[in-house]
Amino acid sequence: MPHASHTTNAPPLSGVRVLEDSHTPQARLAGLLLADLGADVVRVVIHDDSASPCTCCGGNPVHHRGKRRVNVSATEIPGLAESADIYLTDRPPGDLHDHGCSAAAIADRAPGCTHVWMPTYGTTGRWVDQLPPDNFLLAALGGVATHGPSADGSPVATTIDLIAPVHAALGATAAVSALVGRARGRHGGAAVVTGLHAVSVLMLTMMVDGLDSEVFNPGSARGPVPSWRGYQCADGEWLFLAALTSPLFIRALDALDRLDILTLPGVDGDPDSIRISPAAATAAGSALEHHFATASRDQWLQTLHEAGVPCAPTGTRQEWRESELVTELGSFTTAEHPVVGRIEMPTIPLTMDGNTWIAGGFDDEAALATLGWDKRGARSAEHRDDLPLDGLRVVDLASYLAGPTATAVLAEMGADVVKVEQETGDPYRAFSIAYLALNQRKRCMSLDLHQSDDHDHFIELLRKSDVLLDNLRPASGAALGLEPQDVARANATITHCSVTAFGTTQAGARLPGFDPIIQSMSGLALAQGGDGPPVVSNISVHDTATGVLSALAITAALYARFSRTGRGSRIESSLAQTTGFAQFDEFTSYAGSPNAVVGGANFVGPFFARSLQRCADGWVAFAAADRRSDAPLAHALGIATPSDAVTADISDRTVDDAIRCATDAGVAACPVLDREREMFDEFLSANDFTQIIDHHIHGRMAVVAGFVRWDSGTPRLAASTEPGTHTAEVLAELGIVERLQT
């Protein structure tokens, strides 16, 4: 398909053929990402297809941007796969085998094609073939609803689909990783990327549990933390204070001239107490509420910005779309759609060597005879037991969440990730169990990049590495002698990815930021809050989605290097760019486009038959496509049909009984995951969701187990590390002995 680009450079996936057999937004968005990066994506539409379409998809026409469409029978898919590099499918397990589209069947017929399977739920267990594909149900089963922004600990429905963008980027990354493996003579066989794998990334630092000792768990926090919440100002406007760490919170209190808050009863001089003690959080939060109400939002933003404290105004989606920052980032574009007319839509949230590619066309119909695909031959692989990125070294110079998520994904694909920290470690180590979950498959070394010898050692590390990922703002990179030209001078073949909050444009280059800041500025917090105060989700969708998208861009650059150019690439990604993709449907606008969902406090869903409801022994999720199911569901439950209200009293029924009634009414339903013992839930355990790691201080920790399953190879063994655990080991590999001798 034709591409629009700022230059004439070819997209990194030029020449790659993708056969997309999709029924869900996540698989379709995965195909869109591959198309925007240059792949020739052909979507198959099967006559009399038995696979259920997703009830939450909404039919966004932009999901098919840059693709061609062919009408085929199911029996023709294996033959088409002989001419493809990637077969991307989201069929449920039983349907996959019935159509002869399993990994084994495709490998037998088309050994040169990589099979990427993206089922909505998992690969086994009660629900995988019983439920229609719907991320509202997956959010209930997988813990996303359980950890929503609730004031009382009850589950919450989000106004956007948090799972689809992460699942899409993860599936696309697995596909491109396989291409990298094939280009390097590695095995590029079959990958399974389930919806629960996407939940694992999304909930990476939220679904954790200390088994031997009590450790602060970000996922267990109930109610707002004073350093990490919204405040209403004297003019009625809202801002979000994002002082994540104790030093940042102290800096914020100093700027606000309210250090006295540290002396309040319950706080008692310990800033960490506000995250642990409800009494301390209430006292400090109340004091700050009254203080912020004494001046306008702009006054407070200026005060906090001058002190270097991350914070942001709360705004609407329209204000975000029209902002100077978003204009400079080029986050949106327009095109003419053959059916719906002029359409405004998000661009791909990545730049590579200054380019942002957008595939042209929308689901253009093609005939099999005119595809122009010749058959691909089988490809030899010298290392058939390897993971696709085995043998590649990735240097992780990032802290906190977004950047390290990218390298965590690359580690799952087989890369050797070396995390470089200052002597005292990544500041995120303050959250011990979350840090462990995020960095479990990485080696850690300590270097002081302000010290000349250590800086030289770091440059030597870059010379012998394939990827550098950092989250340095431009001024910080310049101060460390690590501007893009410095990195390229050290290694012309390295892929250098920088992850920032707001990009490197004039409007955003100096701004620090965290996920809630983007939620607040982009309109997501106002949408979740509805008619009430803005509500920021506990789940860091921008951090995680930015991380996985960065991993996708890195693998695409590696593929271009190994298959065609022999050169490195410069990649930029940001949380600000990602929000367009994270809210893809909400930021897509055309004549007749559906209205975005609006939430409220403790939001349970848009209507009764698509909501979370309390039962006698837990919570149940109903997932009808529209309100027409309200009356049949209410009748089956033996209650009056709710009028305008979403919530109904079914507290006399058990969850299993409510599911049976919903099934009788033709409404899909499932239980909502119980937060207690969530890491050992039967369905999650059947899908290998959890693993136990011994932390070097706190003992056994339950964390998520992985983001992808390959048909060969295993990633590095998960382990807890101290700062500098592998410094000597890595320096020895570099041949640097003087540091070892001292």
In the chain the domains, ranked by start, together with CATH numbers, are 219-318 (3.30.1540.10), 387-583+711-741 (3.40.50.10540), 610-671 (no CATH)
DSSP string, 45-107: EETT--SPPPTT-TT-GGGGBTEEEEEE-GGGHHHHHTT-SEEEE---HHHHHHTT-SHHHHH
Beta pairing partners, 701: 210, 693
Give the 3-state secondary structure percentages of the chain, helix then strand then coil, rounded to 5. 35, 20, 45
Number of DSSP helices (H) and strands (E) in the chain, helices first? 27, 29
CA distance 438 to 212: 20
Q: Residue 406 has what pLDDT?
A: 97
**If residue 321 lies in a helix (H) or strand (E), which one and from where to where?**
helix 317-321
The model's pTM: 0.95
- C-alpha to C-alpha distance for 105 and 86, rounded to whole angstroms: 14
pLDDT tens digit sequence for 395-442: 999 999 999 999 999 999 999 999 999 988 888 888 888 889 999 999
Q: Cβ-count burial of 122 within 10 angstroms (0-12 exposed, 13-18 middle, 19+ buried)?
A: buried
- Mind giving me the DSSP string for 645-680? -S----TTS-HHHHHHHHHHTT--EEEPPPSTTGGG
Beta bridge partners of 572: 351, 498
Task: State the pLDDT at residue 7.
Answer: 44
Coil, helix or strand at residue 420: strand
Structure tokens that stand for 282 in this block: 């209430």
CA gap 23, 562 in Å, rounded: 32
Give the residue from 699, 694, 688, 687 showing the smallest Cα distance to 718.
694
Closest CA to 115 of 138, 134, 96: 96
CA distances from 510 to 415, 502, 526 (A): 31, 8, 25
Let me know: does 50 contact 73? Beta carbons within 8 Å.
no
Q: For the chain, how long is the longest CA-to-CA vector?
A: 79
Closest by Cα among 456, 500, 444, 452 to 477: 500
| Burial class of residue 400, CB neighbours in 10 A (0-12, 13-18, 19+) | buried
- List, in sequence order, every beta strand (DSSP E) within 306-348: 311-313, 332-337, 341-346
CA 728 to the chain's CA centroid: 33
Which pLDDT score, from 0 to 100, does residue 57 have?
A: 47
Q: SS in 3 state form for 543-573?
A: HHHHHHHHHHHHHHHHHHHHHHHCCCEEEEE
Closest CA to 193 of 262, 123, 283: 123
Neighbours of 410 (CB within 10 A): 30
Strand order in the sheet with 495-500: 351-352, 569-574, 495-500, 467-470, 393-397, 416-421, 443-446
What is the DSSP-derived secondary structure letter of residue 185? T
C-beta separation of 457 from 481 below 8 A: no
Please tell me the predicted confidence (pLDDT) of residue 476. Answer: 87
Stretch (H or E) spanning 528: helix 524-529
- Using 50 as the pLDDT threshold, list the residues of the chain that sit under it: 5-8, 57
* pLDDT value at residue 47: 73
